[in-house]
Chains A and B, each alone.
Chain A
């Protein structure tokens, strides 16, 4: 039996976090005795990019090309992957959680009747049935879920397993999707946000809060982020007053991030903000208020004036 893994990408680049799904599937495969880990990529990508998915744990890569995959279309992608599942009698589909994969996982579950679990944070436990842990209340709690369906769709949170990089290469099979794909949604345009590094995909995030006093002071955040190769984020009050764009809002009702390193500058640490960052590996708080709740959640902290502290950090990074 094979495990199918959906890999997201756009414009010729596969999403790094998405590849973690292959490493997850490879580890799940050894638990489930499923030897074949099949990564599915829709759209046109360089052969080497596809075969390199072997490094992350894929034993085979299925690639479907076609103009219809030029954009990440919810209906087109979910119908195509569902077709591949049916043709190959796939019982387990794995993908990394994103604002796109939620759509895909939901539609495929609706069409196939699969049991779908989203925000998965553990490998399957098959000692008694099939159980996984899932994050709930935006990371404030977790629950163990028994997954009963014959077909299963797991939408896995980033950082659930380490991305495996063995250097292996996987064979790539080009296939045609058998069913006719109907395009019901027309994409009329796209707008790119500023900044090169995706907040959701970043290894390091530097976020600013009201402690920065105004949007004109964001330079010190951007300098540090640039030195670290980090994405920039902000707290909800900051995006609410328009100092920063909405898509930078990190928190329970904004973007949830799980980078290796999250640096919060002048953010007090409201429970809603912490909920959006608590799956980060290391949390750093920089705040002039020693009573800021963020210090209770942080691994490292500096009590001090951001305007003095940040330039020192930036200089130090540049000197490394």
Chain B
């Protein structure tokens, strides 16, 4: 079985997000970049499947050269090889076309990624890739097991979960608790340096959306405190002032 795990290179969840160049560019100074947390779950499940089912795991990132440390980390965690598609991931449709093209070259059985990237939060790339390749896509996936060529999935739905069965190949957008995050060990870090990382140029595709500018939300006004002794006064405020009750 050949597994492809698509990873994003995103600011750490604790990062303070600000912009530079007249609000047209993310201020990367002081920001630590990580494998997208949802992608990291997908990668961890892929490594588990490799151990139990004897798969090969390829990681793919759509990004420029600065994402390579993040890709090396995925190799250190246990992926066998990596592909970097050398272009900025500016739009869901554009990224999905790059991923779909890579899959057409190499016929993967199982394509895993996070349910969404934590920078743009769009959550649509798995669906677009599935549609472009005309194969099923499922998200958000919380349990994924393979029996022969059948994938058994538990998907989160609002108000519960749903159990599914589908034949390979599929695209799955993953989330907790599909697997525990894996932390690279020293041996993994050493071997990651020599694992193949192939850089390929993007396929031509017009951007269907364009980012014009960024902004931070307005600062909140100060909090209105209610004395704990008269806690019930809060209810009056919520009812009569905030009008949310």
Query: Chain A interface (Cβ within 8 Å of chain B)?
Result: 15, 71-72, 74-75, 78, 97-100, 102-111, 113-119, 131, 134-149, 155, 184-193, 198-201, 204, 228, 246-247, 249, 252-254, 260-261, 270-272, 275, 278, 281-282, 284-285, 295-305, 308-309, 312-313, 315-317, 320
Segment at the A interface, from B78-86, B101-109, B161-169, B194-202: B161-169
Residues on A with C-beta less than 8 A from B158 are: 15, 98-100, 198-201
Residues on B with C-beta less than 8 A from A98 are: 158
Residue in A closest to B18 when the chains form the complex, CB atoms: A141
Q: Point out the residue from B115, B159, B245 that lies within 8 Å of A192, measured CB to CB.
A: B159
A188-B166 Cα distance, complex, nearest whole Å: 10
Segment at the A interface, from B66-74, B123-131, B183-191: B123-131
Residue contacts A-B, CB under 8 angstroms, 8 given? A107-B127, A116-B209, A118-B124, A193-B160, A246-B177, A304-B231, A308-B231, A313-B232
Given A149-B208, A317-B235, A185:B136 Cβ within 8 A: yes
Is B213 engaged at the interface, CB distance under 8 Å to the other chain? yes
Residue in A closest to B214 when the chains form the complex, CB atoms: A143
Given A102-B116, A109-B124, A302-B228, A115:B93 Cβ within 8 A: yes
Is B145 engaged at the interface, CB distance under 8 Å to the other chain? no
- Min Cβ gap A170→B in Å is 25
Asked if A99 and B225 sit within 8 Å, CB to CB, the answer is no
Residues on B with C-beta less than 8 A from A75 are: 136-137
Residues on A with C-beta less than 8 A from B228 are: 302-305, 308-309
Segment at the A interface, from B1-9, B45-53, B56-64, B216-224: B216-224
Asked if B118 and A107 sit within 8 Å, CB to CB, the answer is no
Residue in A closest to B135 when the chains form the complex, CB atoms: A184
Is B96 engaged at the interface, CB distance under 8 Å to the other chain? yes
Asked if A148 and B121 sit within 8 Å, CB to CB, the answer is no
Residues on B with C-beta less than 8 A from A140 are: 16-17, 216-217
Asked if B127 and A110 sit within 8 Å, CB to CB, the answer is yes
Given A99-B158, A115-B93, A148:B209 Cβ within 8 A: yes
Given A137-B121, A149-B208, A301:B226 Cβ within 8 A: yes
Is B75 engaged at the interface, CB distance under 8 Å to the other chain? no
Asked if B210 and A186 sit within 8 Å, CB to CB, the answer is no
Q: Point out the residue from B115, B124, B162, B225 that lies within 8 Å of A155, measured CB to CB.
A: B124
A99-B141 Cα distance, complex, nearest whole Å: 10
Asked if B166 and A104 sit within 8 Å, CB to CB, the answer is no
Asked if B136 and A261 sit within 8 Å, CB to CB, the answer is no
A269-B210 Cα distance, complex, nearest whole Å: 33
- Min Cβ gap A40→B in Å is 18
Given A186-B166, A301-B224, A309-B228, A106:B131 Cβ within 8 A: yes
- Min Cβ gap A70→B in Å is 12
Is B138 engaged at the interface, CB distance under 8 Å to the other chain? yes
A190-B156 Cα distance, complex, nearest whole Å: 10
Given A189-B162, A278-B217, A110:B128 Cβ within 8 A: yes
Asked if B211 and A252 sit within 8 Å, CB to CB, the answer is no
Residues on A with C-beta less than 8 A from B17 are: 137, 140-141
Asked if B238 and A74 sit within 8 Å, CB to CB, the answer is no
A5-B238 Cα distance, complex, nearest whole Å: 33
Asked if B14 and A271 sit within 8 Å, CB to CB, the answer is yes
Residue in A closest to B232 when the chains form the complex, CB atoms: A316
Asked if A284 and B238 sit within 8 Å, CB to CB, the answer is yes
Given A191-B160, A272-B14, A110:B131 Cβ within 8 A: yes
* Most chain B CB atoms below 10 A, which of A141, A148, A316: A141
Asked if A146 and B167 sit within 8 Å, CB to CB, the answer is no
Asked if B211 and A188 sit within 8 Å, CB to CB, the answer is no
Residues on B with C-beta less than 8 A from A191 are: 160-163
- Min Cβ gap B175→A in Å is 8
Asked if A141 and B215 sit within 8 Å, CB to CB, the answer is yes
Asked if A102 and B123 sit within 8 Å, CB to CB, the answer is yes
- Min Cβ gap A277→B in Å is 12
Is B92 engaged at the interface, CB distance under 8 Å to the other chain? yes
Is B242 engaged at the interface, CB distance under 8 Å to the other chain? yes
**7 additional A-B residue pairs with CB within 8 Å, beyond A116-B92, A118-B124, A143-B212:** A99-B140, A140-B16, A148-B209, A184-B136, A191-B162, A246-B142, A308-B231
Is B20 engaged at the interface, CB distance under 8 Å to the other chain? no
Is B139 engaged at the interface, CB distance under 8 Å to the other chain? yes
Asked if B210 and A145 sit within 8 Å, CB to CB, the answer is yes
Q: Point out the residue from A187, A254, A300, A304 that lies within 8 Å of B242, measured CB to CB.
A: A300
Given A135-B121, A189-B162, A193-B159, A300:B127 Cβ within 8 A: no
